[in-house]
Structure formats: structure tokens, C-alpha cells
Amino acid sequence: MAVTTVMPTISRELDGRDLYALAFAAPLASGVIGMVAAGAWSDRRGPAWPLMVSLVLFSAGVLVCGVAPSMEVLTAGRVVQGMGTGALIVSLYVVVGVVYPTVLQPAVFASFAAAWVLPSLFGPAIAAFVAATVGWRWVFLGIVILVAVAAVLVAPVVPGLRTTVEGSDPVPRSRLVWAVVAAVAVLAVELLGSSSIPVLAVVAAAVALTALRPLLPARTLLAGRGLPAVIGTRGLMSAAFFCGQAYIVLVLQERWGYSAGEAGIALTVVGIVWALASQGQARLGQRVTSEQAMVAGTLALLGAAIGLWLTVGLDAPAVLAGVAFVVAGAGMGFGFSRTGVAMLAASTDRDRGFNSSALTIADSIGAALALSLCGIGFALAERTGGDPFLAVFGVAVVAAAGAVITAWRTSLRTA
């Protein structure tokens, strides 16, 4: 929340507008490496060590960003930060599967969403204030303090998470290699596409998709019915939503003249709505199936993406852009949490780590690849005199439409 609020300021001060999209895509892409490593480690030894190492990596990346002399160094710090974030997310998903019974898992995932409430309420405003008073670097450096507090809180329960899973299969090292290839290829898509080398950008995208195949359940890229479609829905929902999140502050500043603090209000409201919608689906429990929740969430996301695209294209009042983004948050809150529930329902002790890793890989790569396409579209539109924000939100519309299709295929029913 904080970084999204101040990234337009950072890109201006470091003269890094060309790397704006990459600064968002980098931690998402590199997160795949942390996800694969943490998933394999968790399946073999439990989530304790991956949980601790993830906090260290995240902190190191944030520190690099805080002292970065250029946008290139800041992006490198975001890569390290992303590896820590990816490992952390998978570790927490495994903890949920190990500790909580199935009946409580929707409520736990809703609690994860609720953990966005305080950052949503205070993060954008505090980040804008800190950037305006002592500088944007302290937005990053201050986060390290929060990580230290989190580490102290979780430390007492870590010893109980150290386990050895009997009968788990050794994880091929090739999976980690494929994760690195996928991350590098996704970032290369944006760099090559923005540099007017479209042929090589297409090749990089093909390499990324090829590298993903060993990291995901079979037929995920084909939206196979059941678990593969759940994984695909997660990736496409992230792709659609994070196109909007990365650019909502920038478009409100550049198109309608809002300050960073004023534009950050959109992030505050959407975080609260996301949490409330997630709590709503948890209270409904089994009265709404995971498939129904995902379909409803993706339909709301598609409507929001179209609304945001039309608002920008018609130069309508800024409030409509904010409303559309809030609707997107509601759709994510209602459907996104159920992707985790559906994934765990289709998992066993032997593959819970792999499937948790696959879900978060789809999450990150989907968003990273979409942001890379946004960066390409943005740069191309600026060079040709088009509207760069129409290109960005057009990517969101396409991704949301794909999410609706895959959500319909998450059930194992054949008729």
C-alpha cells in the first residue's frame, strides 16, 4: 500500500518512468523463486524455516530499496523483496493447511484479507506524509520496523511448525531452475517490448509459459476442469486487479491532478471493501460454494475493469474511476479467498506445499506478466500519441474476461 502510493514520486525523482511497470512486476516475478523453494522446503520439513528465511529476504530487499541511488537499483531491491514475499505467502498457506480444520479455513483466509484493513486505512496517508516530509526512502526503511515486530510476534509458535513429512517425494532441483527461468522471462517481456523489440518479447513470453508448466498442476495453462482451473482463476484475477492497483494512483495524479495523498484514498477504500467482502463470503460458508464465489468475484472484477477503461476513455469524472476500482476490490474479496479454500480441498499432505506454491505462482506470474504487458502498452501509446492508460486498463479487461471463463470451470462437474 505504501509503495504503490509513492511509486509515481519515486519514478519522477529517480528519472525512472520507463521502469515504472517493472518496479511493480519485479517482486511479483521473483516471488516465484521464493514460492517454489518454500513449497518444496515445507513439504519436506514443515513451514518453520521458510517462514523465518522469508522475513530476512523481505527485509534485505526493502533496505536496498530504501538506499537505492537509481531506479535500476531500486528494481533490484524489489527483486529480493519479492523472493521473500513469495516464500512468506506459501509458508502461511501451508501453516493454514497444517493447523486449521477445513471448516475454519474460509474464516482464516478472511482474516488474511482483514489484515489489509489497517494498512489500507493508514498506509497510503502515512506514506504520502512521510514522502512529503522526510522523503520517500523512509517509506521503505520504516517498513523494516514493522517486519521486526511481526517476527517477534510469530517467534513463539515457530518451533511447533518444525516437522518432517514422512513419505514425501524429493523435489527435483529442476523446478527451482524453471522458476528462475520463468521470473527472468517475464521481466524480459517488459524490457524487450518497451524497447521496441516485439519479436523477442513474444519469444520471452513463450519461454515464460513453457517454464511455468512444471511449476503448476497438469493442464493449468489449458484451464483444465477442477484444480487447474482454480489455479488459472487465481492468476487471471491477480492480473486484472493489479493492473488497476499499479496505475490507479498514477492516473488520478496525471489525468485528474490529485496529490499522492488524495489518490491514495482509493487504495484505502478498496482495501477495506476487499476485507469486508472476504468476511462476507466467510460468513456465508457452505451456503455459497467456492465455484459460485469465484464466478461472482470474477464477474464483479470484469465489470469494474470495463468501468475503469470507459471512465478513462470518456474522460468521465474521477469519482467513477474510484468507484470502479472499489468494485474490483469487492470482487477480489469475495472470490479470491475461495481460490485458496478450493486448492486446499483438492490437496493432500503430500502435495499441499506444491499446490500452495502453484496457487501463489499463478498469482504472482499472472500479475507480473500483465504488468509487463501494461508497461509495453503504456510505452507504445506514449510513442504513438495514444492514451497510455487506455492500453493499461485494456489489459485488465482482457485478463478479467479470462478469469470469468476459468471460474466457470473450477467445479469438477462435467455437466
pLDDT band, very low/low/confident/very high, at 78 (cuts 50, 70, 90): very high
DSSP per-residue letters across 108-176: HHHHHHHTTHHHHHHHHHHHHHHHHHT-THHHHHHHHHHHHHHHHHHGGGGGGG----TTPPPPPTHHH
Q: Coil, helix or strand for 220?
A: coil
Look-up: residue for cell 518453520? 48
List the single range of 95-99, 252-256, 380-384 with lowest mean pLDDT: 95-99
- Is 415 within a domain? no
This prediction's pTM = 0.81
> Which CATH number characterizes residue 73's domain?
1.20.1250.20
169 has a pLDDT exceeding 70: no
Per-residue confidence (pLDDT) for residue 328, from 0 to 100: 96
Residue 141 to residue 347: CA distance in whole angstroms: 38
Average pLDDT score, the chain: 87
Q: What percent of the chain has pLDDT over 90?
A: 44
Residue 167 domain-assigned? no
Residue 42: inside a domain, yes or no?
A: yes
Determine the average pLDDT of the residues in 233-247: 93
Answer whether residue 135 is part of any domain.
Answer: yes
| Most confident by average pLDDT, 13-17, 149-153, 304-308, 409-413 | 304-308
Residue 289 confidence (pLDDT) above 50: yes
Helix (H) or strand (E) holding 294: helix 290-313
Note whether residue 6 is domain-resident: yes
Residue 205 has pLDDT above 80, yes or no: yes
Structural domain including 253 reads: 2-162+173-407
pLDDT value at residue 164: 55
Tally of domains in the chain:
1
Query: Is 376 part of any domain?
Result: yes
* Residue 414 belongs to some domain of the structure: no
Least confident of 69-83, 275-289, 359-373: 275-289
Does residue 215 register a pLDDT over 70?
A: yes
The CA distance from 38 to 228, in Å, is 21
Residue 413 lies in a domain: no
DSSP 3-state assignment of 413?
A: coil
What pLDDT shows up at residue 112?
77
| Of residues 325, 307, 199, the one with CA closest to residue 250 | 325
